[in-house]
Structure 1
Amino acid sequence: MKFSKRNRFKKGKSGVWKKIVSIIALVVAVGFIAYTYRTVGLISALQGTEGYWDVEGNDQEAYLIVYTDKENEQNPLKSAFVVVLGSEGPAYNINIPTQTTVDFDAQRITLNDVYRGGTIDDVVTAVEQTFYDGFIDNYVILDSEGVKTLVENGREFEIHIRQNFDHEDFTRTTGERTLETDEVMAYMEPVENHLEGNKEFEPNERFIQRQIDVVLGIFDNNFKWNRALGLIGSFAELENRMYTNMDIRQLALFRNMLDESLERERHTFTLPGETVTIDGNVLWVPNQNEIANNTIIAIQEGEPYVPRYSIAYAVVNGTNITGLAGSIRDEIQNEFGFSFEVERKDGQDSVGAYNPSQYHNFYDGPNFRNYSGADRTQIYVHPDYRVFAEGILEYLKDHYPANPRLQLNEDMESHDVVIILGYDLKED
């Protein structure tokens, strides 16, 4: 049978289209397989079937988490902190005040100014230089509008609240809770960090904890098995709303790392430094010596560390020796550099030296009235600060004919360490 030119043309045209369709089908099949592999691997990681340190963790991982508000042109950087975790040892949350002064482009400016006039990589570089080059392994930057979009991705935003949260419009207690978008945004806000004077830069576990809760909630609400059908959209939303140097797989492991950090002994503190007021602006100047000599070494060795400046203490005179509490207080301040920054109940300035009845009236905590006229010096300390109280004990024994007794007390409230001076300090 002979074919006409027209029939032969139809056959040729049909063959070309079949090839095109076959190529498209092959591309779709490969894409589907790749997507399925990626999705299954991601969901498996998010279900906790793969431990972070079993998969990718090195001896130490440091993650920078930044929260911004692009609508605020003057102060777009709302908070920044580093989560540091090793294969062993405690976890660290290090608050980096947005007004921390850093060296950048041969000038001394604040971290907020770096973000406002530079790029995300510039912020990471500035933080690294405050510690050391290579300190930050990965970073995640979330903007308030991006968080809002991710929260609204699902019908309900479920979150695990680990600390009670009181807001002017609502109160939320610990446990699994469903929050509206405005509630999540309020929960994310670092409101306790907006204080005057030195307290603006004090360690603040609550806002760091809440922001970690929201980050975990974003992952859990977008990538759990029961929402797997929405993963294609979720990938796009996450990659557009969360700025990071990690791919989607690393982000899944990052989520598991945050989860693990919450299960360990944790130390939360502000980057060591001091406040400086310039032109009416309160700035935070890092203490490079303390960073180099204490913080980094402790983290690398997996040891607990709390900066001395963050420990509030009081000296209570249990004797009738006039001025003894004040002189001992000054000696400890010169030797150890602890803080007195604790508000009194009556609103007066804190001086850190009292008699027993005064202390009980001014501050919350154990009742020390019975220690007036004590023969033996007593040192009360919260268990987290035992190592520092032991240093005070040894100092008093070395410089006085004293036999102080150390007592751990988890009920310490206003001060972390309270020293009740006894007559054993009196020279013979």
Structure 2
Amino acid sequence: MYKHRYLPMTEQDQAEMLAAVNASSIEELFADIPAAVRYDGILPMSGQLDEPALLRHMRELSDKNADFDRYTSFLGAGLYDHHIPVVINHMLSRSEFYTAYTPYQPEISQGELQAIFEFQSYICELTGMKVANASMYDGATALAEAAALASGATKRKQIIVSRAVHPEAREILLTSARGLNLEVVEIGYQNGVTDVDALQAAITENTAAVLLQSPNFFGCIENIRAIEPLVHASKALLVVSANPITLGLLESPGALGADIVVGDAQPLGIPASLGGPTCGFFAVSEPLMRRIPGRIVGQTVDKDGKRGFVLTLQAREQHIRREKATSNICSNQALLALCASIYMSVLGKAGMQEVGLLNARKAHYTASVAANGPLSLAFSAPFFNEFVLKLPDSADLAAVSAKLLQAGYIGGYNLGDAYPELKNHMLIAVTERRTKEEINAFIRELEACV
């Protein structure tokens, strides 16, 4: 069988291209790269594979992944195993959406713009905010963008963030803050939620924003109503990162006084996809509308009075304002935002409430079953669909996770990796997909492992 690389090139092709650039060899093309940093030798790769052999090889690699079809997952920590209605993939596969790109010419991109407009409308309704943008890369970068917005709006340089915020989101915040010369102050937690006394003591006249996550990384629900007056008393902004699934059940952050609400739309019909991509959302109160990063799709009418959609306020973006732009975010996750829009439209208000209730009830059932044996709940604060289990001090979480995987379960997140003080603590996530039988069997297996 004829074999070829996936970038086909004959020896004649290679010779002709080298001649065109006056080079005698491929190595000569890299002469400007110092030898000290150049890879010396041949990369550790297999030889050429024909197509059937390559497909077999790729299937073997794929089978090593612990996917949600073959394993029962109790792992959350930002990416969740929620049910994805089949209509979503059907709609996304349509060429009008699948091939759509940035709608710089709105007059010929009405369908794409309407899809984005619907996403914005849904996010505003969920979060209780006045304005939402066309989506962000993910929830973590949205949180960092919120800090940048707050600094620009208040002309202050201090950002206060709770340690109960997702550790990876805090790392991204720190990276962004270095470039913007922002001071980031982290506040500890008590009983799984932000330490309100420590927060109050940390707020100064230079505080631009306080960043919270609710439910937070431990799954606990923050007391935003108590924190809001502390933040606004110093004229700082309150930023809340929210799980959208909770917003069909819990009071919206906007109703609780948040100035900026961000989050990740992955729970809204977007596959976990081995870690991404996902889709972030970003919503603000009306006074901050002109500072919101990215683009906003607006609704208008044409000269005949027909409804139409346009790009609104995009002068904030770097392709127009260059270094004066308020953000370098000009792209959006339109296809994944469409996932979320279809999900919310299919479920409706009653469906979103039902999914929220199923998540909360199943998680609380799991916690009640787990607390009857050698495991215990680490915190007593209210939680949604994630909670922290304390395992016996003698337990080796790496070994426990390996045993669970052998038994067909993707175990919870080892909190000791990000919180040294929580060694032997596991973050458990329970979604509407988990059955009572799966929950009981998982807890039995977990108890047997410790």
Q: So what's the TM-score if we normalise by structure 1?
A: 0.26
User: Normalised by the size of structure 2, how large is the TM-score?
Assistant: 0.25
Larger radius of gyration: 1
User: 1 or 2 for the larger relative contact order (CA 8 Å, sep ≥6)?
Assistant: 2
The structure whose residues are more often strand, as a share, is 1
